[in-house]
A and B are shown apart, each in its own frame.
Chain A
Amino acid sequence: GAGVSQSPSNKVTEKGKDVELRCDPISGHTALYWYRQSLGQGLEFLIYFQGNSAPDKSGLPSDRFSAERTGGSVSTLTIQRTQQEDSAVYLCASSFRLGSQETQYFGPGTRLLVL
């Protein structure tokens, strides 16, 4: 079956512009995660959704970052007023949660470059 998909695969933007990154999870997966992968910070957790709600937003680096999930499926990560330090690969993962013994499956990522 189809895996996690993300769009766009690459995004180049200018400092100060807003960007939206999209994630389509595996069908039927109730949990959805966003991570960021950057040279200096490695793989960092950003936010987690169970259904449409986000119980844990602790990883969002600033209030310029927000995310939503609609219909228990597609999620959008929005970065407002982008800065050069936002340049990174943004990875989405989904899982069908079975208690805490869940397995997260990752998408190919969106490579964001802020000029």
Chain B
Amino acid sequence: AQSVTQPDIHITVSEGASLELRCNYSYGATPYLFWYVQSPGQGLQLLLKYFSGDTLVQGIKGFEAEFKRSQSSFNLRKPSVHWSDAAEYFCAVHGFQKLVFGTGTRLLVSP
């Protein structure tokens, strides 16, 4: 069965510092991978997705993610975090006709 692991429940980053959120997946075939962000009281907003091709994908708000098949990972990165990036981030893999989500990582941004 498909699964996604986000090992960090919380991460605190200083404003302006770089960010990396970890995501590992388990999936037998070629994975289709996503990162979504959820601000408090809001739904999920798509940041970026990987289907095939270039393993470094660019998303909105300056985020990028790199697909590494050998490590079963799809880590999310941002070179310089802004206070408005504070939110919860979810990694997901497209399973059979549904998304399977990780448990999420809550990002806190300190001044």
Contacts and interface: CB of A to CB of B under 8 A. Distances in A.
A and B together in one complex: yes
B43 A48 contact: no
Interface residues of A, number: 23
A7 to B, nearest CB: 13
Contacts of B104: 42-43
Interface size grouping (class) on chain B: 20 to 34
B103 A106 contact: no
A107 interface: yes
A29 to B, nearest CB: 14
A45 B98 contact: yes
A55 B97 contact: yes
Nearest to A98: B51
B67 interface: no
Given A42-B103, A100-B32, A101-B51, A106 B43 contact: yes
A96 interface: no
Nearest to A59: B98
Given A100-B94, A101-B32, A101-B51, A107 B43 contact: yes
A104 interface: yes
A85 interface: no
B97 A48 contact: yes
10 contacts: A35-B99, A43-B90, A91-B44, A100-B94, A101-B51, A106-B36, A106-B44, A107-B43, A108-B42, A108-B43
